Amino acid sequence: MEDWKVERRKKRCTVCERVFASEEELCSCIVEAEGAFSRRDLCLACWERRTSEPFSFWRTRMPRIRERKLEDIGAMVEFFKRLVAAPSEDPLRRKITYLVALILMRKKRLKLAGVRAAALLVEKSWDGDVAEIPEPAIGDEELQTLRVEMEKLFDVELAAEAAA
Ligand SMILES: [Zn+2]
Report residue 2's pLDDT band, with 50, 70 and 90 as the boundaries.
very low
Ligand 1 mean position to 150 CA, how many Å?
A: 24
With 0.75 as the threshold, say if the pTM is over it: no
pLDDT of residue 4 exceeding 90, the answer is: no
Percentage, residues of the chain above pLDDT 70: 83
Mean per-residue pLDDT, 13-40: 90
Ligand 1 mean position to 75 CA, how many Å?
A: 21
Cα separation, 31 vs 36, in Å, equals: 8
Cα separation, 84 vs 132, in Å, equals: 9
Residue 130 · residue 121 · CB < 8 Å? yes
Q: Tell me if 128 is assigned to some domain.
A: yes
Q: Tell me if 133 is assigned to some domain.
A: yes
What is the per-residue pLDDT for 70? Answer: 45
pLDDT of residue 24 exceeding 80, the answer is: yes
Instruction: Name the residue with higher pLDDT: 40 or 66.
Output: 40
CB atoms within 10 A of CB 60: 19
Q: Tell me if 29 is assigned to some domain.
A: no
Percentage, residues of the chain above pLDDT 90: 47
Q: Tell me if 152 is assigned to some domain.
A: yes
Q: In the chain, how many domains are there?
A: 1
Q: Tell me if 85 is assigned to some domain.
A: yes
68-89 pLDDT, tens digit each: 344 567 888 989 999 999 888 8
Instruction: State the burial class of residue 36 (Cβ atoms within 10 Å of its Cβ: 0-12, 13-18, 19+).
Output: middle
Mean pLDDT, rounded, of the chain: 83
Residue 53 · residue 32 · CB < 8 Å? no
72-131 pLDDT, tens digit each: 678 889 899 999 998 888 999 999 999 999 989 988 899 999 988 889 999 999 999 999
What is the per-residue pLDDT for 33? Answer: 85
Ligand 1 mean position to 9 CA, how many Å?
A: 14
Q: Tell me if 19 is assigned to some domain.
A: no
Ligand 1 mean position to 79 CA, how many Å?
A: 23
Q: Which domain holds residue 97?
A: 73-159
Q: Which residues surround ligand 1, an ion (CB under 5 A)?
A: 13, 15-16, 43, 46
Q: Tell me if 20 is assigned to some domain.
A: no
Ligand 1 mean position to 48 CA, how many Å?
A: 10
Q: Tell me if 60 is assigned to some domain.
A: no
